[in-house]
Amino acid sequence: MNYRRLGSSGMKISEIGLGSWLTYGESVEDNNSIDIIHHAYNNGINFFDTANVYNRGEAEKVVGRALSDYARDSYVLATKVYFPMGEGPNDRGLSRKHIVEQCEASLQRLGVDYVDLYQCHRFDPETPVEETLMALDDLVKQGKILYYGVSEWSAAQIADAVHVAKERNLNPMVSNQPIYNMLVRYIEKDVMPVSEANGIGQVVFSPLAQGILTGKYRPGQEVPKDSRAANEDINRFMKQYLNDDVLQQVIRLEDLAQNELGIKLSQLALAWILRKPGVSSAIVGASRPSQLEENLKAAEVELTDDVSGEIDSILEELKHVKL
């Protein structure tokens, strides 16, 4: 496993991180989840990402229970705050009240004294950014979080937060967690440049486009019955990808991976993401150890300029596909 600095911070995280969205505490049994987390840790993954809203805290409990077998300083633990955790008017958002209360709740569920990375899960237009950043800065000073970041913030929102933090002499944000994969590349236009200019690393989620970039789904064919796409409870984020125009290009990418590099499409997709200098880690999900084994090998793949050019040519066709 290779490790990269999280933005301009001194903390290093594994190029492949393990997430818990739509899996742990929800669609994957707890004992299996713990086995997968242990497998990840034993194979060099040190970056584990979760959120309070994932199954209303159940994912945090599973992740915390699994990581309790290891020395606290041997892994990097990340969680998030923003989405509703109750029915009250203050049970959501990025107010000082919600941030402080949810940080305490997350620490209890995770069974730790601090989290390494605390992330604003979305931007809150109802709370002044100064209030949000000052609350996070206080948590850093109290030792309850070591670093903070954001998720799915626009370039303008990130730039504004950077300015406020500098103006008020607050600890700076170190990361952004956006969706990023071969099919969804909006961050390349302005989010990545603004982030790189301000020492903010990308820890990207959905690098395999919810499994589309594994080659499991074929144009004109029904989705496999045992696949995520067949699960109505968790496939709501996949439907944008399940059209024949997209799947035709995915087949071309799979042929390139197999015939020219002798690797799986998922490994090509991850290696393509990791080629970007602004990316600190790609967060994968796994429902069984074999999936994780495939993903881990992506860190060993090096893409030549010729192969990268072929990939770009295929992806150019996707610019005309509405996702």
CA–CA distance, 196 with 158 (Å, rounded to integer): 11
- The separation between CA 122 and the C-alpha centre of its own chain, rounded to angstroms, equals 13
For residue 83, pLDDT beyond 80: yes
What per-residue confidence (pLDDT) applies to 230?
Answer: 46
**Per-residue pLDDT tens digits for 18-77:** 999 866 656 567 788 899 999 999 999 999 999 999 999 999 999 999 999 999 999 999
Give the model's pLDDT for residue 73.
98
pLDDT of residue 323 exceeding 70: no
For residue 189, what are the contacts with CB-CB under 8 A and spacing of at least 6?
none
- Look up 70 and say whether it is catalytic: no
- Mean pLDDT confidence for 127-138: 98
CA distances from 205 to 18, 64, 181, 220, 286 (A): 10, 20, 8, 28, 13
pLDDT for 224 = 64
Residues 98 and 85: their CA atoms lie apart, in Å, by 9
The catalytic position among 3, 24, 41, 54 is: 54
Q: What is the pTM of this model?
A: 0.91
* Digit-coded pLDDT (tens) for 242-293: 788 889 999 999 999 999 999 999 999 999 999 988 999 999 998 888 889 8
What integer pLDDT is reported at residue 321 of this predicted model?
Answer: 62
Does position 124 have pLDDT exceeding 70, yes or no?
A: yes
What residue ranges define each of the domains in the chain, with the CATH number in brackets?
3-211+267-302 (3.20.20.100)
195-246 tens-digit pLDDT: 999 999 999 999 999 899 998 888 766 656 555 554 555 545 556 777 888 8
| Among 219, 237, 261, 236, residue whose Cα is nearest residue 181 | 237
- With bands split at pLDDT 50, 70 and 90, how would you rate the model's confidence at 111? very high
Evaluate if residue 168 carries a pLDDT over 70: yes
**Does the pLDDT value for residue 138 go beyond 50?**
yes
